[in-house]
């Protein structure tokens, strides 16, 4: 236990200071073949020497489960920032279960539910790949942090929820494995039990969400117990159960919160990891931001996004 604490301390120390930039390296690997689809992951790190295995920041891209790519240009500042801070950043593929499908809704939820479960299954397989290759990738298997944008944010929140709830899909992961943290850029959890409740404590979670988001609900879209529960609903559960989290509430801003924090809030994201993952602070924080200089873009709805 003491040995692990020492490792965590020095990993945190190395990760919380600016390291020599070195040369940014990118490596692409195949991690699975699923139903005729080749799934790849991109690994970003610098060539600077590291004494200890690096924390690993996994990223899942957005696009409504119908489109998007793991290496889109607007994600690159996020990858580069954390790679030069001493992280191994891994951006993954997943199968796009909503491609060619009609807009989801409460009465047409099955395609979206299946697409989410498919993406989570692929994320679990990617995670298992990282665990099996932790030594040659020089990553710390106890410091795998999930992050995602929009559909990717739904995927990472859902993956941690299902793993903590002992869902059968998570059985591909080692019994003693837990994600170290979750970072959600405009995400939510699909649930058939009402507001999700966790069998085991969730990973410390950083939520970003715009209060005017109509694509991924800021609060929830539900019919009885069935629905999509957004950041406002989820943080209510976190607060009631005293789970550590930070919630950045972007007032009167729509779904663009799924992207711009990865450019404009990089130090805040890094500080969350340092405080909540490395030092395990048990804080519950909600930060309301009204940016007087930012005009909200009209937020897509599922009806106009998928049709």
HSE of 157, CA atoms in CB hemisphere, 13 A: 31
The pLDDT of 77-91, averaged and rounded, is 97
Question: What does the mean pLDDT of the chain come to?
Answer: 91
pLDDT digits (tens, 9 = 90+) for 212-238: 999 999 999 999 999 999 999 999 999
C-alpha 270/C-alpha 203 separation (Å) is 16
pTM for the predicted model, two decimal places: 0.92
Can you say whether the dihedral through the CA atoms of 274, 276, 279, 281 is positive or negative? positive
Higher pLDDT, 114 or 105: 114
Q: At what angle do helices 151-164 and 110-132 cross, to 10 degrees?
A: 70
Which domains can be identified in the chain, with CATH numbers?
2-306 (3.40.50.1820)
In the structure, what pLDDT confidence band is assigned to residue 80 with cuts at 50, 70 and 90? very high
pLDDT at 103: 87
Residue with tokens 């489109």: 67
pLDDT at 49: 56
pLDDT at 227: 94
């Amino acid at each position: 236990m003491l040995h692990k604490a020492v490792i965590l301390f020095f990993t945190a120390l190395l990760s919380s200071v600016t390291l020599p930039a070195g040369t940014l390296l990118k490596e692409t690997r195949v991690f699975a073949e699923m139903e005729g689809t080749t799934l790849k992951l991109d690994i970003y790190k610098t060539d600077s020497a590291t004494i200890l295995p690096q924390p690993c920041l996994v990223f899942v891209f957005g696009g409504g489960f119908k489109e998007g790519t793991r290496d889109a240009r607007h994600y690159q500042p996020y990858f580069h920032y954390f790679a030069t801070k001493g992280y191994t950043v891994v951006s993954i593929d997943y199968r796009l279960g909503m491609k060619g499908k009609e807009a989801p809704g409460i009465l047409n939820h099955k395609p979206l539910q299946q697409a989410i479960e498919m993406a989570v299954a692929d994320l679990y397989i990617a995670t298992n790949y990282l665990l099996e290759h932790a030594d040659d990738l020089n990553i710390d298997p106890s410091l795998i942090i999930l992050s995602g944008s929009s559909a990717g944010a739904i995927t990472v929140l859902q993956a941690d929820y299902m793993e903590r709830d002992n869902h059968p899909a998570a059985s591909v992961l080692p019994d003693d494995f837990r994600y170290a943290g979750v970072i959600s850029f405009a995400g939510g959890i699909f649930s058939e039990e009402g507001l999700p409740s966790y069998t085991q404590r969730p990973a410390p979670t950083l939520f970003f969400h715009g209060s005017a988001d109509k694509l991924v609900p800021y609060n929830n879209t539900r019919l009885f117990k069935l629905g999509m529960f957004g950041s406002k609903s989820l943080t209510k559960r976190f607060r009631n159960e005293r789970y550590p989290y930070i919630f950045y509430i972007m007032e009167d801003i729509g779904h663009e919160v799924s992207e711009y924090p990865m450019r404009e809030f990089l130090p805040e994201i890094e500080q969350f990891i340092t405080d909540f993952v490395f030092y395990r602070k048990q804080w519950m924080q909600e930060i309301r931001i009204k940016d007087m200089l930012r005009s909200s873009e009209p937020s897509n709805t599922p009806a106009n996004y998928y049709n």
